[in-house]
């Protein structure tokens, strides 16, 4: 049981390049999320997927697209990277823990630098 | 807009002392609150949560207090240890928000041996 995994761990892009961040969870969770974290700040929600086949915008969706490929995988795509997208990206999934409490499990993060 | 914020950006305590980290939230409709611990280079790790129909919840060495009157949340860590050094975030989930969380800025806790 690996929990939430993300690839790659580090990435450097030039402005205008595109890339896809991969995320997978093996906990059979329905809901998955993509966040970004800038230095000294909390996490901000980019997109989320409440269930397979559905995706919705979060607080900061501009410049990103997502795909919920199946129940396990939720990818984040930058079509044309900009320096403002330099950040650490976290994927998370949510599961029920004890009664009606939910728990979010986070991946280790992808550190992206856009030059 | 709605936000969750922290009163203290940094907190330094002596090993063995109790730590209290505070958080203010502005969305009175929020019904679920979580505290996360984030160590350097890692993703956030769940610590403890509380629903809006509770005032207090205890875990192992940690207690979360919720004061809905003043929209204030706190995390108490008993007998703080060097391994507790990290950034602590509070997060809130608005009613019927489908699991979406709004995170506060974070408080860095430094434990001196």
For B:31-60, CB contacts with A below 8 A are 32, 34, 41-46, 49, 51
CA A66 to CA A55: how far, in whole Å? Answer: 7
> What are the pLDDT tens digits along chain B (113 aa)?
344 554 448 999 999 999 999 999 878 888 889 999 999 888 999 899 999 999 999 999 999 999 999 999 999 999 999 999 999 999 988 655 556 788 888 899 999 98
Instruction: State the smallest CA–CA distance between residue B103 and chain A in angstroms.
Output: 5
Report whether pLDDT(A8) > 80. yes
How far is B32 from B54, CA to CA, in rounded Å? 10
Residue in B closest to A51 by C-alpha: B98
What is the mean predicted confidence (pLDDT) over A73-79? 97
Tell me, yes or no, if B99 comes closer than 8 A to chain A by beta carbon.
yes
b/e string for B16-55 if b means 16 or more Cβ within 10 A?
eeebebbbbbebeebbbbbbbbbeeeebbebbbbbebeee
Contact present, A23 and A73 (Cβ < 8 Å): yes
Across all residues in chain A, what is the average pLDDT? 91
Under an 8 A CB cutoff, do A104 and B100 touch? no
At B26 the pLDDT is: 77
Whether chain A has a CB inside 8 Å of the CB on B77: the answer is no
Comparison of pLDDT for A27 and A15, the residue scoring more: A15
């Amino acid at each position: 049981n690996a929990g939430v995994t993300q690839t790659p761990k580090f990435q450097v892009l030039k402005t205008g390049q595109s890339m896809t961040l991969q995320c997978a969870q093996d906990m059979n969770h329905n809901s998955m999320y993509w966040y970004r974290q800038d230095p000294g700040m909390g996490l901000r929600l980019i997109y989320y997927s409440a269930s397979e086949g559905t995706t919705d915008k979060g607080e900061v969706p501009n410049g990103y697209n997502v795909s919920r490929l199946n129940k396990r995988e939720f990818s984040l795509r930058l079509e044309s990277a900009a320096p403002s997208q330099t950040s650490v990206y976290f994927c998370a999934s949510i599961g029920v823990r004890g009664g009606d409490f939910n728990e979010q499990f986070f991946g280790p993060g992808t550190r992206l630098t856009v030059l | 807009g709605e936000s969750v914020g922290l009163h203290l950006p940094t907190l330094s305590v002596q090993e063995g002392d109790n730590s209290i980290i505070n958080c203010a939230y502005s969305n009175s409709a929020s019904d679920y609150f979580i505290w996360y611990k984030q160590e350097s280079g890692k993703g956030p790790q769940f610590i403890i949560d509380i629903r809006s129909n509770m005032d207090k919840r205890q875990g192992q060495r940690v207690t979360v207090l919720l004061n809905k009157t003043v929209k204030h949340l706190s995390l108490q860590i008993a007998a703080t240890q060097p391994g507790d050094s990290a950034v602590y975030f509070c997060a809130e989930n608005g009613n019927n928000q489908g699991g979406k969380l709004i995170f506060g800025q974070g408080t860095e806790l430094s434990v001196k041996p």
